[in-house]
Structure 1
Amino acid sequence: MSELGLVKRQFGHRARLALSPAEIRVIDDQAHAARTLWNCLHSWWQMMPKDKCTLAGADAAIRQARKDLDYLAVLPAQAAQAVLKTYHRAWVNCWEGRAQEPSFKGRFRTPMSVDIPQGRDLNIVRVHRRWGMVNLPKIGRVRFRWTKDLSVGKKATKDSRITGARLVKDALGWHIAFRIQTLQRAPESHQGPEVGIDAGVNIPLALSNKDHGRPPRLPDGTADRDKWLTPKEKAKLLRLERQAAHRNTFRKPGEKTSRRLQHTYDQIKQLRAKATRRALNWQHQTTTYLARTYGVLVVEQLNILGMTKHPAPRPDPAGGGAFGRNGARAKAGLNRSIAQEAWGRTVTILTYKSARYGGRLVKVPAPHTSRRCSACGCITSGSRESQELFVCKNPDCGWTANADWNAARNILHLYRTGHVIVAVPAAGRRGRRAVTPSNLPQQCRRESPS
């Protein structure tokens, strides 16, 4: 932050590329070369002695490999250096405990991408109201969809400019993701109200003040797995899945997938990618509304990986219960619903958007937020009669409400009573006390239900 109250902001913008079949083949070759270079670099790093695993040695090995192997030479030199930089950063994250060790990248499970680290080589020009031109290494001038005003031309300065880009591919084709850096005035402290947010399945984001109907609404069929597809797209997806299952019956074990079956798989991937894009668009619209409206956003500290684990198998295969023969299938359905809502991505988006608008995001402990009554504070067994309804079993209370709204009220109450785990951003703010067993709230408390 400068003395004038200006801060540097870095964000990304993704646009669709308009490529010819020949250009697509060139970028595909570059992406495969980048993945192969990563695997060769990983093998070299594991084989070399510890004292010789240096950036200078790896850089020399990459330069020699690009001279000896023609299929690695199709990758631009700067993109090859970006692979080395990304690989070294992966090891730094592992050494600092933020990630696991880097591993080999598989051909089919790894997203295809090519990095363009130098923004000055892009030479972006707007040629039409809807289209722009960008220069790609070893490809030339390519059109891309213009959907956002970029800091190019006379608008580009030392502090507001495009620092680089990355070519990424999904089921819908190749896109370019620009890395943009701007200099903006630091936002003032947000004076909006406080709100508790509960991430659920029936209501994706339930607010403590019942404002969850104000953001952009979900399409019809909230509990449907393919809720982001239209009825025609759902029918087409069902037809393609049946067609793929029928054609797969004629495939012998170990036999290569036929072109016709692979084409069917590609069509299924395109529909799935379209649904994912619509879900991400809804997430961005909703989180922007929340960050602009509220000054303090309170969420739970959830262990999503632990919540989506498969149930432990029972010794008796015929055993019943919640995780018996029939319960395992229900738990698998719940895991799919949790993964589809992408709760972790929602919290990540809320974190930087709340800081952008001057607010802050606070995380509170998650235990018993969905089982505790927000009116009387009692935790009683059987209060969750269904996934949607909460009924307090306390004889003196008997309060009934939506289960997600009840949990959102409990989340906000934990923040107001000082049970905070993480407060983001913490710079320049006085942190709250951490949660410990000694300062956990009592099992029963009295609070007005209003």
Structure 2
Amino acid sequence: MKISQYYKFRLLPNQEQEILLNQAIGSARFVWNQILAKSFEMFSKDEYIRYETLEKNLVPLKKIPDCSFLGKTYSACLQQKIKDLAKAWLKFYNSKEHARLKENKRKPKKPKFFKLADGAEIQLRPLMPRFKKKSDGEQSFRLPFADCKVLGDRLSLPKKTGWIKFKKSQEIKGKITSVTIKKICGFWYVSFCTNREVVEPIHPSKSAIGVDLGVKKLITTSNGQVFDPINSFKTNQIKLSRLQRKQRKKVKFSQNWKKLNFKINKLHHHIANIRHDYLQKITTTLSKNHAMIAVEDLKVANMSKSANGTAENQGKNVKAKSGLNKSILDQGWGMLIGMLEYKQQWRGGLLVKVDPKYTSQTCSECGHVAKENRQTQAKFECVGCGYVANADLNASRNILSAGHAVLSVEGGCGKGRPKKQKASEIREEVA
């Protein structure tokens, strides 16, 4: 079994090294924008865009006198940036990506256009790569590991950059294939991409649980365990709104406006780090203790859609829905399910996604389905058999039952499976 894993650490460059890293980031961004402009011209001529055709534009670009600074940075990071651009165009040409985009029914945005050298314009479509800005919150460049060295808690880059220290919080397992340097809100990070072969793991636990995701209770499991939400955005919302009000009073793009914008981005980065760290801890706890985890296949983008409506059809309960949307996005459900998925795979466990329909309205004892069963947000009382339980606990037990049904031959309500399945004729003959 092959495992690909990223290790991310804080990078601690000195002032001279920071200048070289900033030059590399700026050069990579410049090459992306220049080659992207060339690719738009190719797209207007109905040419298929791939790496081999894009890479031919790099050498002529370096020979331009005004672009002589490209020769002073790492040449490998410029080639890697072109590879990233080619992957972005490959994603645009993929019909499955467009189908997935249509599932998340987002509000249509005002169309944008790119002006070509001959004066013609092309419309920028969804999934098309976009130009990068210096003001973007995250800047990065990537190098193949063949050009780098790692010794303990130090990293060596080409072009006589020297050894750069990083905070090595854990051992790096596997063969390092590439090194990515990132700058986020003034902080430097290094990510090592590794590959390693392991024996097919067998999960030490034999238990199975259903997981119900919520806002007041982040996770409620079918065995009664509850994980409270961290609510990192809600905790810092007052501080964030205060900074945003100050920024509104400043002249846009002035020095004071930029200082406040940096503080706002830094606070958002802090909020995201708190959420990410908390989700890592609770998903590790669940993955270590349970071989099978059943979760709802939630469409978070649809659940957090705005209720504003249109000018003709005004929305209802807009303020309440806006608060609910903030609470949903503050939990990071999509990130949580993604973490569970790869951690279960690494430990030899199983993650089953089930259809979320009627899981909160179904009685886990008798199977009776009725809207009246869910009397309040917290209380569940079956009108059929009189079973009383916590609503989240009842839903998690239904999710576990649906997860077992997905794995069985007779049932199936998971993603990509038919609602009903029958035993095959071969099985009937054998029986």
Query: So what's the TM-score if we normalise by structure 1?
Result: 0.77
Q: Which residue number corresponds to residue 59 of structure 2?
A: 63
Q: Distance in 1 between matches of 2:57 and 2:302?
A: 41
Q: Which residue does the alignment assign to 1:336?
A: 326
Deviation at 1:78, TM superposition (A): 0.9
CA distance in 2, matches of 1:239, 1:348: 30
CA distance in 2, matches of 1:92, 1:13: 27
Worse-matched range after superposition: 262-271 or 175-184: 262-271
Checking the alignment, whether the CA contact within 8 Å between 1:363 and 1:420 is kept in structure 2 is no
Q: Which position in structure 1 is the counterpart of 2:169?
A: 147
How many residue pairs get matched?
Answer: 384
Q: Return the letter of the residue paired with 1:273.
A: H
Q: What is the CA–CA distance in structure 1 between the aligned matches of 2:335 and 2:247, rounded to whole Å?
A: 36
Report if aligned partners of 1:115, 1:167 keep a CA contact under 8 Å in 2: yes
Partner of 2:40: 46
Partner of 1:178: 192
1:246 corresponds in structure 2 to 246
Q: Which amino acid is 1:103 matched to?
A: P
Alpha carbons 1:384, 1:403 under 8 Å: kept: yes
Q: 2: CA distance between counterparts of 1:60 and 1:382? A: 66
Q: CA deviation at 1:391?
A: 2.8
Query: Hey, what does 2:80 align to over in structure 1?
Result: 82
Aligned positions of 1:87-106 closer than 5 A: 87-99=85-97, 101-106=127-132
Q: Distance in 2 between matches of 1:337 and 1:358?
A: 33
Contact 2:182 2:188 in 1 (8 A): yes
> Displacement of 1:13 after TM fit?
0.4
CA separation in 2, counterparts of 1:282 and 1:250?
35
Partner of 1:392: 381
Q: Secondary structure at the match of 2:401?
A: helix
Residue of structure 1 equivalent to 2:220? 206
Select between 335-344 and 24-33 the one with higher mean Cα deviation: 24-33
| AA of the residue aligned to 1:390 | K
1:258 is displaced (CA, Å) by 2.8
- Partners of 1:240 and 1:21 in 2: CA distance: 30
Percent identity of the aligned residues?
Answer: 22
Give, in whole Å, the separation in 2 of the partners of 1:52 and 1:272: 39
CA–CA separation in structure 1 for the residues paired with 2:375 and 2:257: 45
Once the two structures are superposed, residues 336-362 of structure 1 have per-residue CA deviations (whole angstroms, 9 ceiling, x without a partner) of 111121111111111111011111111
Q: Secondary structure at the match of 1:287?
A: helix
Give the whole-Å Cα distance in 2 for the aligned partners of 1:92 and 1:57: 13
Alignment pair present for 1:164 and 2:162: no
Does structure 2 conserve the Cα–Cα contact (< 8 Å) formed by 1:291 and 1:354?
yes
| Aligned position for 1:410 | 398
Question: Is residue 380 of structure 2 the alignment partner of residue 380 of structure 1?
Answer: no
Name the CA distance, whole Å, in 2 between partners of 1:416 and 1:250: 58
**What is the DSSP-based 3-state SS (H/G/I as helix, E as strand, rest coil) of the residue aligned with 2:138?**
coil
After superposition, the Cα gap between the structure-2 partners of 1:386 and 1:12, relative to the gap in structure 1 and judged at 3 Å, is same
2:256 corresponds to = 260
In the alignment, is the contact (CA less than 8 A) between 2:11 and 2:164 conserved in 1?
A: yes
Write the distance in 1 (CA, Å) between the matches of 2:412 and 2:254.
Answer: 55
Stretch of structure 1 that moved more, 370-379 or 290-299 = 370-379
Alignment of 1:349 onto 2:339: yes
Matched residue, 1:447: none
TM-superposed deviation, 1:52: 7.3
CA contact (8 A) 2:402 2:413 kept: no
CA distance in 1, matches of 2:50, 2:233: 48
Deviation of 1:372 after TM superposition, in Å, equals 2.2
Instruction: Work out the CA distance in 2 between the residues paired with 1:34 and 1:43.
Output: 14
Secondary structure of the residue aligned to 1:417 is: helix
Q: 2-side partners of 1:240 and 1:295: how far apart?
A: 40
Segment drifting more, 172-181 vs 399-408: 399-408
Shift of 1:136: 2.2
Asked if the contact 2:4/2:194 (under 8 Å) is kept, the reply is: yes
Ranges in structure 2 where 5+ consecutive residues have no aligned partner: 99-126, 423-431
Structure 2: distance between partners of 1:202 and 1:38: 43
Query: Equivalent residue for 1:426?
Result: none
Among 369, 373, 377, the alignment partner of 2:359 is 369
Q: Is the 8 A contact 2:298 2:356 kept in 1?
A: yes
Letter in 2 for 1:176: V
Take 2:48 and 2:417, find their aligned partners in 1: how far apart are those partners? 44
Q: 1:71 to 1:400 in 2, by over 3 A?
A: farther
Q: Which runs of 5+ in 1 are unaligned?
A: 1-6, 127-131, 152-159, 228-233, 424-432, 440-450
Which residue pairs with 2:273 in the alignment?
A: 277
Structure 1 residue aligned with 2:426: none
Over 3 Å counting, the alpha-carbon distance change for 1:52 and 1:198 in structure 2 is closer
Kindly state the Cα deviation for residue 196 of structure 1 after the two structures are TM-superposed.
0.7
Does the CA contact (< 8 Å) of 1:16 and 1:174 recur in 2?
Answer: yes
Which position in structure 2 is the counterpart of 1:187? 201
Q: Alpha carbon RMSD of aligned pairs, Å?
A: 2.8
